[in-house]
Structure 1
Amino acid sequence: MEVGVGADGRRKRRLRARDRRAAAGRVRRVAVDRRLLERRADRAETRGGRVAAAAAVRRSGYAMTVTAVRAPEKGRVGIERVELPSTEPHQLRVRVAMSAVSPGTERASILGLENTSNVFPMKLGYSAVGTVEEVGSAVPGDAFAIGDRVACFTLAHAEVGTVAAEYSLRAPESVDDRHAALTSIGQIAMQAVRKARIELGEAVAIFGLGPIGLTALALARLSGAAPVIAIDREPARLQVARRMGADLLVNTNDKEWRESVLGATNGNGAAAVIESTGFPEPVRLAMSAAARYGRVVLLGSTRAEATINPYTDIHRPGLTIIGAHVMAVPKHESRAGFWTWQDDARCYLDLVGRGRLDLSPIMEEPVAGADAGVVYARILEWDPTILVPFLRWGA
């Protein structure tokens, strides 16, 4: 039997239908295709548009994917789309403009050499500059704002990444992108030069003229070292050291190399030696180049055991051996010879901004992040002329 419906019934039915349509609309909006949202983020032309698009992806319940450089397994490098983790309370979300490649460190990591994590897949890169897109809830309100240009440590090679606020610093407009992207490499060299306690007029020798060693050379000159002695076995790197102001070039392939050091230091040897090769054998050679009572700063992360005789190499000449790994710096408060990452990084940016530190001789022309494979082919083949390649991200 058919039951008739009165006015009240029809009204209730219309309301229920309207509610169903609204609910369906909400479901459709939540289920917006993930790729469409990412295309919108990629197409956004303004800083505000990119931030809004990223927020839309987060609200959809999907993780954003970004292009990044990864080592999927030992000995291999790939350009991949990876999921970007959500921003933790103490972190910043940064859209990377440029990242600096650290050839020695990254090659060792890719090949799984000794004293690397040897855990794959592996992020690559640690020194970059970009723009803040999101500020974590626990970051102090006056520390960073969306749109700030920041130099960062531990920010990997990728379009967008997350990084601890304590390893981020506003980069002044007076510092170009390449110098800003080098901030963490500059800080690594700077903390070693501080630990060397260089006095005006002291002879300083730099063993190993990769990007970090050459940066240490420039900072030793700024600290008053004289003469500054550049030591390597690669002629091309020695010539870069000459352009950066080295007073003496010494090639360790020359059997008389140590006599060259003694000749430039009144027969004494260098008051301070900064070893930055990352290889074990030069550690002992660095000690032999030091003056009696000299300081030897171990800046390079050696990838194998070094053989030394503690009595003849350290004890008898009265050497002071100083470890200078980048993580051996205080977290919260600087003191003489031991500055925090923030203070060293700020000093580096200030020196560059004032025109007192110029690292352009070690800079290569940037390449697009998507073309990073060309850079890593050179690194894995160990091209001795490679200095600091840069990866450019975004427009």
Structure 2
Amino acid sequence: MKRYSIWFEAKEQAALRSEELPCTLSGKQVLVKADYSLISAGTELANYHALPNTSIEGYPCTYPRSVGYSGSGHVVAVGPEAAKLKVGDRVAVVWSGHKSHFIQDEDFNLYKLPDAVDLKSAAFTHVASFPLLGVRKLQIQLGEAVMVAGLGLLGVIAVQAAKLSGAYPVLACDFSAERRKLALELGADHALDPREADFIEKVRALTDGKGPAATVEVTGTLPGLQQALEYTAFMGRISILGCTRISDQPINVYRYIHGKGLHIIGAHTRSRPPHDSQVGSWTAEDDYRTFFKLVSAGAMKVLPLINFTASPRDAEKVYHKIGFSKDPVLGVLFDWQNIE
């Protein structure tokens, strides 16, 4: 059997590879055929452009490298000891790359989907768990004002999660008028352009003069973080959800953090408990299950975030388009159903 997968062969060079995949399954192994995989633009474009800090450990970005970590598919074969999954089961696949097929243990990075979760929505499972963590870590209280700064994939999902957590009002900000409009459609009470000269004054006016009690910082930039430090309320909380990889300006820690008593909370997905969810920080698996419940109930929507669906054969064109566009896309899916 041929397996196809997307790799970055060098800086700003994406390609579709093919290889022979052995079909013999042992133990609890299952063979999954992919249906869709989602581009996580922040992480993948950082690797595409060889930006600094593409790993927490600080390792440099090297090539070739496999990319992608959030997708969906269905089981096409099972090993002799598999008991949880059967042929035909639809699954979310996490941490496994943009690939046409996967062979792995049924207990490892595969999550059976409820009937009400469609395969396109399921492809968001892993990515959607990031903003759930970023919002959880703020421990939002009913009626607290919350700002979501940056309306990429994570930000728009964070808007919905903040609303579901009881935040009011939910504010959102982004340069893009289209993204601000989408945020309003999906639950934000106000959406602002952070480039406006009176932006911070507007934020305070919408929050009883105090600023939001909690902010989800998803811009991944130090200018965006600096703004958040200024408008977040005295003794407020900021979760750093976006990956701020480039330290291109100083931050006055004494004035904006120490003096204001702000709580700065790291919300990278690796900052989770490995087992047993706790208040303000759930395991990844528990957040996947939460995502399934919310999508099943229609309480969280991710299909409006999809800009287009592409063939993996067009990977080079897709990454070039999103990597160099002046108007960044929001959500892009690879469709693996007809790749063979």
**TM-score normalised according to structure 1 size:** 0.78
Contact 2:129 / 2:284 at 8 angstroms: preserved in 1? yes
SS of the residue 1:342 aligns to: helix
Matches within 5 A, 1:139-218: 141-162=82-103, 165-218=107-160
Match status 1:384 vs 2:319:
no
Contact 2:13 / 2:316 at 8 angstroms: preserved in 1? no
Structure 2: how far apart are the matches of 1:91 and 1:364?
34
The CA RMSD over aligned residues, in Å, is 2.2
Structure 2: how far apart are the matches of 1:287 and 1:93?
48
Match status 1:366 vs 2:312:
no
Query: Of residues 84, 101, 107 in structure 1, which corresponds to 2:39?
Result: 101
Point out where structure 2 has 5 or more consecutive residues left out of the alignment.
Answer: 56-60
> In 2 relative to 1, CA 72–88 (structure 1 residues): closer, same or farther, beyond 3 Å?
farther
Other-structure match for 2:10 = 73
Structure 1: how far apart are the matches of 2:113 and 2:15?
30
> In 2 relative to 1, CA 84–327 (structure 1 residues): closer, same or farther, beyond 3 Å?
farther
Structure 2: how far apart are the matches of 1:290 and 1:90?
49
Query: Of residues 253, 261, 265 in structure 2, which corresponds to 1:318?
Result: 261
Structure 1: how far apart are the matches of 2:49 and 2:261?
37
1:84 deviates by 4.7
Matches within 5 A, 1:322-333: 322-333=265-276
Structure 1: how far apart are the matches of 2:191 and 2:297?
28
SS of the residue 1:265 aligns to: coil
Contact 1:91 / 1:162 at 8 angstroms: preserved in 2? yes
Match for 1:154: what amino acid?
Answer: W
1:82 deviates by 3.7
SS of the residue 1:81 aligns to: strand
Contact 1:68 / 1:79 at 8 angstroms: preserved in 2? yes
Match for 1:125: what amino acid?
Answer: G
Match status 1:255 vs 2:193:
no
Structure 1: how far apart are the matches of 2:165 and 2:192?
21
Structure 1: how far apart are the matches of 2:109 and 2:153?
21
SS of the residue 2:213 aligns to: strand
Other-structure match for 1:345 = 288
1:75 deviates by 1.6
Match for 1:189: what amino acid?
Answer: P
Other-structure match for 2:208 = 266
1:339-365 CA-to-partner distances (Å, cap 9, x unmatched) read: 111110001011100111112221234
Query: Of residues 234, 238, 261 in structure 2, which corresponds to 1:292?
Result: 234
1:228-267 CA-to-partner distances (Å, cap 9, x unmatched) read: 1111122222122122221111111111110110010011
SS of the residue 1:185 aligns to: helix
1:124-153 CA-to-partner distances (Å, cap 9, x unmatched) read: 11100012345678xx85433343211121
1:148-207 CA-to-partner distances (Å, cap 9, x unmatched) read: 211121121121134563432111121111111111111111011111111111110011
Other-structure match for 1:12 = none
Query: Of residues 166, 187, 201 in structure 2, which corresponds to 1:245?
Result: 187
Structure 2: how far apart are the matches of 1:290 and 1:136?
53
Considering Cα pairs closer than 8 Å and 6+ residues apart, tell me whether 1 or 2 has the greater RCO: 2
1:98-127 CA-to-partner distances (Å, cap 9, x unmatched) read: 111112221111111111151211111110
Other-structure match for 2:58 = none
Match status 1:229 vs 2:171:
yes
SS of the residue 1:217 aligns to: helix
Contact 1:74 / 1:120 at 8 angstroms: preserved in 2? yes
Contact 2:322 / 2:328 at 8 angstroms: preserved in 1? no
Structure 1: how far apart are the matches of 2:178 and 2:28?
43
1:89 deviates by 7.1
Larger Rg: 1 or 2? Answer: 1
Structure 2: how far apart are the matches of 1:161 and 1:335?
32
Contact 1:284 / 1:307 at 8 angstroms: preserved in 2? no
Structure 1: how far apart are the matches of 2:104 and 2:162?
30
SS of the residue 1:260 aligns to: helix
Point out where structure 1 has 5 or more consecutive residues left out of the alignment.
Answer: 1-37, 39-64
Structure 2: how far apart are the matches of 1:267 and 1:259?
8
**TM-score normalised according to structure 2 size:** 0.90
Contact 2:28 / 2:83 at 8 angstroms: preserved in 1? no
Structure 2: how far apart are the matches of 1:105 and 1:238?
22
Other-structure match for 2:70 = 127
